[in-house]
């Protein structure tokens, strides 16, 4: 709209000037080299304007002639760059499609057309990797790592190669270099932490974790979970070296970060109990002790109480039968009967949980409370797990000396639900004890206490196992029962 307004104003000004010249038509006389030219002012102005237009046209033609070589060279470069980017794009598509030959061909074409080493080097390295030429890919990545603009990409490529060939030490150095280049990179922080954990460098992993959380490269909730797992491993190392106080502090911090972590509570309780120096006799309550000594005994008993409280807190969140003996020890149970009472108190909050039922049954069996042990196992229902079946076999043998009944329970254990174990959610491997990193695949904080997946043949309906058990029962009555091979 504004441009149209300017056009109208300019046109009006020209019309006004033409009208004024028509009304004021003067004459102009020009003498030049014996020539005399008489004309009007309007004609002179028109001739001047024509000369200016002609001069402008000639100037543009001259510029076009002068600039033609440079324009042609620029056009040639532009077409060459466009073909190079087209080759680069086709090479990336070929890599995504898994076509190694096409990727190499387009890589060479892009390298010849483009004068941009970062892009062509990356394409060449990926094409070499796709074709299985790791040495060539390594050379390309090494060249990239020497250029400031592509150093991070080169280091990342070399790191991937080191991990692939199992060079953890070299991979860890490259991960630290990548972290120094990009301290805010979540990928670099994750890889460095993972490698340090797989190498068992728990303290280094903890420092890396803290730095990543401080820079915001890692979620703080995840950082807290991982730190608790690391603290458990560091506490175990301290316990193994006899540094009980350090182990107690580290495990206590882990327990605060993750009260539901069974290993943290167990290590904390063990460290507290290992550091105790005073154990009162069973009849200490009946002994007359001076007041200062009683206060000292009360103070020294505090670690045992803290150990019991930690176990109770974790058991309410994550029941585990492995706590039973440790809790009875922390509660100073003088015999198996007292231990059974303490374990019953521990399981009051989770009375029907399978871990509680098994812990109670085992404690009652140890105290020779056979009826209570049987009632606890009966609560598993008609398909008790394998460990409960084995415990019933021990009860039958210990209480009545009934070897036939014991064998029948052992046979049921062969087809019962497998015993729970620390199972890795990443690779499915089982472990007897919790570890921060899986011993098989190295995945961090992936172990969970659960029953492993059953084999399909063993998971058949009970109708398939009933005849075997019935036959075993009849054979047992005749005194000729035998344990089937598994």
Predicted confidence band of residue 52 (pLDDT cuts 50, 70, 90)? confident
The phi-psi region of residue 320 (left if phi > 0; otherwise alpha if psi is between -120 and 50; otherwise beta) is beta
Helix (H, G, I), strand (E, B) or coil at 31: strand
Distance CA 4, CA 19 (A): 23
Distance CA 336, CA 326 (A): 13
In a domain, 215, yes or no: no
Average pLDDT, the chain: 80
Q: Estimate the crossing angle of helix 244-257 against helix 291-317, to 10 degrees.
A: 40
In a domain, 430, yes or no: yes
pLDDT of residue 286: 38
Distance CA 251, CA 310 (A): 11
Distance CA 28, CA 40 (A): 6
Distance CA 78, CA 60 (A): 24
118 burial class (0-12, 13-18, 19+ CB within 10 angstroms)? middle
CB 274 within 8 Å of CB 244: yes
Which range, of 225-229, 272-276, 317-321, 418-422, averages the lowest pLDDT?
272-276
In a domain, 135, yes or no: yes
In a domain, 17, yes or no: no
The pTM of this model reads 0.67
The whole-number average pLDDT for the span 170-195 is 87
In a domain, 443, yes or no: yes
Any residues with CB less than 8 A from the CB of 412 and at least 6 apart, and which? 384, 389, 469
In a domain, 341, yes or no: no
The per-residue pLDDT for range 126-161, each reduced to its tens digit, is 777 777 888 888 887 888 788 887 788 888 888 888
Distance CA 393, CA 407 (A): 7
Which domain, by its residues, includes 424? 392-452+467-486
Backbone dihedral angles phi then psi of residue 211, each to the nearest 5 degrees: -70, -40
Please identify, among 132, 147, 166, the residue that sits at the C-terminal boundary of a domain.
Answer: 166
Distance CA 348, CA 459 (A): 32
In a domain, 18, yes or no: no
Distance CA 171, CA 380 (A): 49
pLDDT of residue 307: 93
Please identify, among 144, 166, 188, the residue that sits at the C-terminal boundary of a domain.
Answer: 166
In a domain, 16, yes or no: no
Partners of 29 in the β-ladder: 38
Nearest to 404 by CA among 470, 457, 482, 340: 482
Distance CA 258, CA 236 (A): 17
Please identify, among 166, 196, 223, the residue that sits at the C-terminal boundary of a domain.
Answer: 166
Q: How many domains does the chain have?
A: 2
């Amino acid at each position: 709209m504004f441009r149209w307004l300017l056009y109208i104003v300019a046109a009006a000004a020209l019309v006004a000037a033409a009208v004024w010249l028509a009304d004021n038509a003067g004459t102009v006389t020009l003498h030049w080299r014996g020539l005399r030219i008489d004309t009007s002012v309007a004609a002179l102005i028109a001739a001047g304007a024509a000369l200016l237009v002609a001069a402008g046209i000639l100037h543009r033609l001259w510029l076009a002639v002068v600039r033609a070589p440079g324009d042609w060279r620029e056009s040639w470069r532009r077409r060459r760059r466009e073909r190079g980017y087209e080759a680069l794009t086709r090479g990336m598509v070929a890599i995504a499609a898994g076509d190694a030959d096409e990727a190499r061909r387009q890589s060479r074409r892009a390298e010849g057309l483009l004068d941009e080493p970062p892009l062509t080097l990356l394409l060449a390295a990926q094409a070499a990797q796709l074709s299985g030429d790791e040495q060539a890919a390594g050379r390309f990545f090494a060249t990239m790592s020497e250029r400031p603009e592509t150093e991070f990409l080169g280091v990342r490529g070399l790191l991937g190669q080191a991990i692939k060939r199992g060079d953890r030490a070299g991979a860890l150095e490259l991960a630290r270099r990548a972290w120094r280049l990009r301290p805010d990179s979540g990928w670099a922080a994750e890889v460095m932490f993972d490698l340090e954990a797989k190498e068992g460098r728990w303290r280094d992993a903890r420092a890396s974790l803290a730095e990543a959380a401080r820079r915001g490269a890692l979620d703080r909730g995840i950082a807290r979970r991982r730190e608790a797992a690391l603290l458990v491993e560091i506490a175990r190392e301290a316990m193994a070296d006899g540094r009980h106080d350090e182990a107690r502090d580290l495990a206590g911090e882990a327990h605060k970060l993750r009260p539901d972590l069974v290993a943290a509570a167990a290590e904390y309780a063990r460290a507290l109990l290992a550091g105790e120096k005073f154990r009162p006799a069973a009849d200490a309550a009946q002994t007359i002790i001076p007041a200062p000594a009683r206060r000292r005994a009360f103070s020294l008993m505090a670690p045992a109480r803290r150990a019991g409280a930690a176990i109770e807190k974790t058991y309410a969140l994550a029941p585990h039968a492995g706590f039973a003996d440790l809790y009875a020890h922390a509660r100073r149970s003088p015999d198996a009967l007292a231990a059974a009472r303490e374990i019953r108190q521990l399981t009051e909050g989770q009375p029907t949980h399978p871990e509680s039922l098994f812990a109670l049954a085992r404690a009652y069996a140890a105290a020779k409370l056979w009826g209570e042990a049987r009632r606890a196992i009966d609560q598993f229902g008609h398909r008790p797990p394998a460990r409960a079946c084995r415990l019933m076999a021990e009860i039958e043998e210990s209480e009545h000396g009934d070897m036939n009944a014991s064998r029948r329970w052992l046979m049921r254990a062969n087809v019962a639900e497998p015993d729970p174990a620390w199972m890795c959610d990443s690779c499915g491997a089982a472990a007897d004890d919790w570890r921060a990193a899986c011993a098989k695949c190295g995945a961090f904080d992936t172990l969970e206490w659960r029953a492993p997946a059953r084999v399909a043949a063993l998971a058949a309906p009970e109708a398939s196992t009933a005849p075997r058990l019935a036959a075993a029962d009849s054979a047992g009555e005749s005194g000729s029962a035998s344990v089937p091979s598994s």
